[in-house]
Structure 1
Amino acid sequence: QRSVLAELPHEALGYPDPRGLPRLRTALAELLTRRRGVVADPERLLVVSGVAQASALLASALHARGVRTAGVEDPGSPQHDDLYASAGVRTVPLPLDDEGLALGPLHDSGVRAVVTTPAHQFPTGIAYSARRRAALLDWARSVDGIVLEDDYDGDFRYDRAPVGALQGLDPERVAYTGSVSKSLAPGLRLGWLLVPEWLADDVVERKRTTDLGHPALDQALFAHFVERGEYDRQLRLCQRAYRERRDVLVAALEEHFPGSRVSGIAAGLHAIATLPERYGPEKHFLARAADAGIAVRALAEYGHGAGGDEAARRAVRLVLGYAHLTPGRIRAAVESLARAV
């Protein structure tokens, strides 16, 4: 911060461009093009206070164009319902299959906007197949619609190189958003939004009237961090740490919950663990964990449906976050959970 303040001219601390400082937008465009394969024009890139604001801005701009419903993944992130509702856009839950959003329900829904996490679906952990990604873009073109891509942890793939962002395949049909919440800290409230050209002016105007632009000092500081290669270094550090923590979690589950299965690709900041039926029913498992002071969440908490078939209701399916815990704490937590249940 001292270094950035020393180099900032006085006028740089006036009201910023609502899109963001040109210096940061240029640095982010290069970074996202190189790391995520997006088509990143700095003129269509906005600096925002996280994915939440990006979603709210998009929802408001789409509502002004007559969009009243948006599809969301089911299961998916619970925050999307409230964010879109705040702009007058109702969300429609759409089921998934093994490749991503199920195409039949998507076509039948009548929506023209859909919110997705194709690189690493939250919370199931699947990656959209190449075939499904192409079909999703075909759908968007056929209904003159838009795909809202939340690339919340696209940099963190541990078994192979990360798949590129969907936006890179059709930047006029995909709005792309991400943030530093998973790589630095969510409390920084710093993210980015890439919008199609036809929607850019509407979103920029909403950003201007919402807050007159993101804090200039925070932007200059992050630009400095990116330009010097520090953010790339931070991403490499996170990837090593998160991979180790995921491996520790999987090994601990195998040791203390024999027969358990971890699903989804080796990526991200959480894993889905399905435990053998002998640990069920799920509501009793969760109650025993809570009594022992151990916080776990069921996969069912992220869905809009009735809970699936009888076999699914008997299973214990947990969403386990590991990125914020040291390997030692992960091992201790799984051991304590096993004792509790």
Structure 2
Amino acid sequence: MSRTWATSGVDLHLELDPTTGRRAALEHALRDAIRAGRLAPDTRLPATRRLAVDLGLARNTVAAAYDQLVAEGYLTARRGAGTRVAPLARPRPGATATGADGPPPRHDLRPGSPDGTAFPTAAWLRSARRALTAAPAGAFGYTDPRGRAELRHALADHLGRTRGVQADPARIVVTTGYAQGLALLADVLDGPIALEDPGLPFHREIVRRAGRPVVPLPVDADGAHAFPADVAAAVVTPAHQFPTGVTLHPARRHALVDWARATGAVVVEDDYDGEYRYDRQPVGALQGTAPDHVVYAGSVSKTLGPGVRLGWLVLPPHLLDPVVDAKRHADRQTETPGQLTLADLITSHAYDRHIRAGRLRYRRRRDQLLHALRHHTAHGVSAGLHALVHHPDEDAAVAAATARGLALGRLRDHWHHPDPAAPQGLIIGYGTPAEHAYRPALRALADVLGT
């Protein structure tokens, strides 16, 4: 027989085996629920009287089952605290036999993330309260696959004002981050796609999984070049290339747009951290010079955090309908509460204030990093959340860092085709640690590099 707790304050489906005694059936059902993690450690169980009523059992039967599980270590019982699930040693959800889901490093200077402790919690809660209170009931049903109009209009204003993007709200598609945006584009574009070399392996895998061949797009001190003639698109990071840190030279920007016009290919502008430039005004988006040939892609992963799964594509007219159709069939729409909250955060200018504070924070961190590396050269412009330091033996450096509990990025991992003769280096993410952990991480880095 199966029972459901419905009035006890805890809802849990229990299968009570009718072939065994009632007490044994209850013990077995509770034991299985605890082992499977459906009853988490420290969960307070219903009082024996209440559970007995819910399950149609005698109170003494429930009390005896509780006592037995306390004796076995599955439950704990203290006067005034009730009966609770005991902490058990069990594999973490998602942990693998190889230990790939191990503990985090003591010092984390891996690139790709901002300081999570800097998330604007109070401002986000204020915006969420305003936005959700004012939202019509229809906002929580199925809506436009492009995203909520409130966010698309807010983004159009913000991107035009801060990044020089020509953004018609009707041609913005809200995505669950940049990764989905790239996947949607790879789905609708017909032909190979060129990605920067070096660049993120994860992005190459997204394109390959969509069935599109990947073509290396070489990067030098002036950014991407040698644009191929036989591709459907070129994906570039003009404002701050990852991982080299260079910006696309003005002559290259013109050449890239001319190439797109001549070949009919699309330029995908990944503006992943364009808000963070420390030595001058941020370079305007490439899309502003050729909106009919450039897809502008952005997200809040570097400003708010990658856990906020919100991104956007500003599309040329000819790609709008195909991408909207692909979005509709991918996940129908991006979740609404986050969109409404971000829209309010932008229109209230709390988002601008947060970005300005971030510029000050990460500029200070970059200056501290350069001081710690004063006997080494950090490559790339003064921007973003990472720096590249060339090193003759990155494997030895990473091994030494690991021995000190320090995690770093490695340049070799970002080449399309690793070559022993290719430049080697360390990619240092100075945005990742919490504020209190940054200086200890720099000291560990200095020890590794001998500065």
TM exceeding 0.5 = yes
Q: Which runs of 5+ in 2 are unaligned?
A: 1-127
Equivalent residues of 2:297, 2:313 under 8 A apart:
yes
Q: 1:72 aligns with which of 195, 199, 206?
A: 195
1:340 is displaced (CA, Å) by 4.5
Query: Helix, strand or coil for the counterpart of 1:40?
Result: coil
Q: Using a 3 Å threshold, how does the CA distance of structure 1 residues 327 and 262 change in structure 2: closer, same or farther?
A: farther
* Correspondence 1:26 to 2:134: no
User: Distance between the aligned counterparts of 2:225 and 2:131, measured in 1?
Assistant: 48
Of residues 52, 60, 64, the one that matches 2:187 is: 60
Q: Quick one: structure 1 residues 217 and 334, their matched pair in 2 at CA, closer, same or farther if it must change by over 3 Å? A: closer
| 2:31 corresponding residue in structure 1 | none
> Does 2:308 correspond to 1:200?
no
2:337 alignment partner in structure 1: 217
**CA–CA distance in structure 1, aligned partners of residues 140 and 416 of structure 2:** 45
Q: State the AA in 2 paired with 1:272.
A: L
Contact 2:372 2:446 in 1 (8 A): no
Please say if residues 249 and 331 of structure 1, whose CA atoms lie closer than 8 Å, have aligned partners that are also in contact. no
Q: Counterpart in 2 of 1:330?
A: 438
Q: Structure 1 CA distance, aligned partners of 2:371 and 2:435?
A: 11
Which of 236, 244, 257 is equivalent to 1:116? 236
Q: Tell me how far apart the structure 1 counterparts of residues 220 and 132 of structure 2 sit (CA, whole Å).
A: 50
Provide the C-alpha distance between the structure 2 equivalents of 1:71 and 1:218, rounded to a whole number of angstroms: 32
- Give the counterpart of 1:170 among 290, 299, 313: 290
Does the 8 Å CA contact 2:145/2:332 hold for their aligned counterparts?
A: yes
Q: How many residues align?
A: 322
Match of 2:426 among 313, 318, 326: 318
Query: Are the aligned partners of 1:33 and 1:39 in contact in 2 as well (CA < 8 Å)?
Result: yes
Q: CA deviation at 1:124?
A: 0.3
CA contact (8 A) 1:40 1:194 kept: yes
Q: Deviations over 1:60-86 (max 9, x none)?
A: 111xxxx23111100011111111112
CA distance in 2, matches of 1:294, 1:126: 26
Which residue number in structure 1 is paired with residue 402 of structure 2?
A: 290
Post-superposition Cα deviations, 1:57-113, rounded to whole Å, max 9, x if no partner, equal 111111xxxx2311110001111111111211111112112211122xx23x62231
The alignment partner of 2:406 has SS state of coil
User: C-alpha offsets along residues 303-334 of structure 1, whole Å, 9 cap, x if unaligned?
Assistant: 1234364xx66xx6210001122565333223
Partner residue of 1:268 out of 363, 384, 389:
384
Task: Judge which range, 284-293 or 122-131, deviates more.
Answer: 284-293
SS of the residue corresponding to residue 34 of structure 1 reads: helix
In the alignment, residue 47 of structure 1 is paired with which amino acid? V
Residues 1:340 and 1:154: Cα distance change in structure 2 (over 3 Å) = closer
Larger Rg: 2
1:89 aligned partner: 212
Contact 2:394/2:426 (8 A) holds in 1: no
Would the aligned equivalents of 1:177 and 1:194 in 2 still touch at CA under 8 Å?
A: yes
Identity of aligned residues (%): 45
1:239 has 2:359 as partner? yes
Q: Deviations over 1:211-251 (max 9, x none)?
A: 12111211111111111111111111111111111111111
SS of alignment partner, residue 426 of structure 2:
strand
TM-score calculated relative to the size of structure 1? 0.90
Contact 2:401–2:448, Cα closer than 8 Å, also in 1: yes
Out of 36, 45, 50, the residue aligned to residue 177 of structure 2 is 50
Look up the SS of the partner of 2:158 in the other structure. helix
User: What letter corresponds to residue 268 of structure 1 in structure 2?
Assistant: G
Amino acid at match of 1:2: R
Unaligned runs of 5+ in 1: none
- Give TM-score, length-normalised by structure 2: 0.69
CA-atom RMSD, angstroms?
1.6
CA displacement at 1:274 relative to structure 2: 2.6
2:160 partner letter: T
In 2, the alpha carbon distance for the partners of 1:87 and 1:289 equals: 36
**Distance in 2 (alpha carbons) for counterparts of 1:334 and 1:198:** 48
Say which SS state the counterpart of residue 307 (structure 2) adopts.
helix
Q: Mean Cα displacement is larger for which, 300-309 or 242-251?
A: 300-309
Residue identity matched to 1:271: A
Distance 2:333 2:275 in 1: 27
Does structure 2 retain, via aligned residues, the 8 Å contact 1:16–1:214?
no
Shift of 1:205: 1.0
Structure 2 distance, partners of 1:181, 1:168, is 22
Which residue does 1:250 correspond to in 2?
A: 370
